[in-house]
Amino acid sequence: MGTSRWRGLVNSGPRRPRAFTQDTAQVLAFDKKTRQLRYLPAGEGNGEVEPGVTWRGHVARGMLLCPATDCGLPFGRVVAGGARRHHFAHRPGEGEHDDVTGPETLWHLSAKDVLGRWAATHPSLADWTLHLDDTPITLPDGWRRPDVLAVSPDGVKVAFEAQYSALTGTDWKARHDFYAKAGVVDIWLFAHHGPQWRPATTRQRHRRELVWRDPDWAATVQLSGLHQTMLRHGVIPLWLDPTTQTIGTATTRVHPSNTSPGERLWEDSAYTLPPRRTFRACHVAADALQQCEVDLEAGELFTPARREQREEHQRLEQDEQAARDRASRHEERLQAEWDQHQQQERRRKDAERAAAEARQQIPLKEQFPPLFRQDPPPAKPPWWKFWPRRT
Ligand SMILES: [Zn+2]
């Protein structure tokens, strides 16, 4: 409801790192000792990996390797302090990743790791089985291997797809249909940089549907043909920033009715809703992944932003119903007034008719006595009465 607009102003609690800044800082490292990926939490660069072992010490011993597939070199240092988020860095001259393959595989790797970690620890998926990139979903006419697959004890399957590269709406629809046919809930998460993340142009930012924004909304991005296809099929685009473990939800604050140009619109009468499929851009509401859960009934990742959108949708429906009730009450009142008027008219006419009929019964001589009066005309004075008198 209305409180949402002030969330960002009433700032309480620990400061969260800003999400969706297209930060590609390396926060994952392959630990030589445990042979698993390590995630460096925000602001923990000076802290400890595990009791007695600091991140800096671990890096200095060469235990943390770069997880990029074409790299694998040990990291040189931990960058902690300064404006940027704490992250791992290579020694100068080492690990110069190709911009195309490097960050992509890294993002994909981080996304899978973060999703897997979240799914493994989230209370709503407590006794679910997790498969990271290793269990294909097969149908007679093909197969797909989701990045993360969660299977409930009673066999419900949820597939997470982390999508970095470009994808057409048609291809997405085919994959979405494939999962639907296999009875799998599919959740698509896009990268926070690269082809799936195009910041909105100035022209798009000035469009009416993007005029109002919440201070909590992290960014404004373009909606591609793929996103519009998703919206057409009732799927709200989501983005994942693995560096801050944040989920972005496509959102806008709009007037639901089509208004005529030049009409003055107020934010108070607008609603926070998913973008319409014709929109060229939308805002991105950032929520911590930890606060999201899988809504099996709706087949989507239920983020706090989605909760707000659903509440706003309900409010919109109630308001529309109230407006309809008001209109019908007004209509009824008008109808009642009109009926009353008709009745009065009828009564008046009846009375007139009755009076006319009653008049018919009375002889004309009584009705209009002057016409029938037989009095002689008044005597005219003789002509000499008008003669001017001499004085
Ligand atoms: Zn590297």
Residue 16: its pLDDT value, please? Answer: 54
Separation of CA 65 and ligand 1 centre (Å): 8
For the chain, which ranges sit under pLDDT 70?
1-17, 98-104, 258-260
Check the CA dihedral 146-283-16-31 and report its sign. positive
How far apart are alpha carbons 78 and 102 in whole angstroms?
19
Q: Do residues 172 and 226 make contact, with C-beta atoms less than 8 angstroms apart?
A: yes
Ligand 1 centroid – CA 99 distance (Å): 12
Q: Ligand 1 center to residue 309 CA distance, Å?
A: 40
Residue 301's pLDDT is 94
pLDDT tens string 183-216: 999 999 999 888 899 999 999 999 888 988 888 8
Ligand 1 centroid to Cα of residue 94, in Å, is 7
> What is the Å distance from ligand 1's center to 56 Cα?
17
* CA dist., res. 28 & res. 38, Å (int): 6
- The reported pLDDT for the residue numbered 10 is 42
The CA 91 to ligand 1 mean position distance, Å, reads 10
Residue 72 CA to ligand 1 center (angstroms) comes to 6
Compute the distance from residue 64 Cα to the ligand 1 centre, in Å: 11
Rounded to the nearest angstrom, the distance between the alpha carbon of 146 and the centre of ligand 1 is: 25
The Å distance, Cα 189 to ligand 1 centre, comes to 24
Whole-structure pTM value? 0.79
Distance (Å, rounded) from C-alpha 347 to C-alpha 370? Answer: 32
Q: Ligand 1 centroid vs 101 CA: distance in angstroms? A: 12
SS3 content of the chain, % helix, strand, coil (to 5): 35, 25, 40
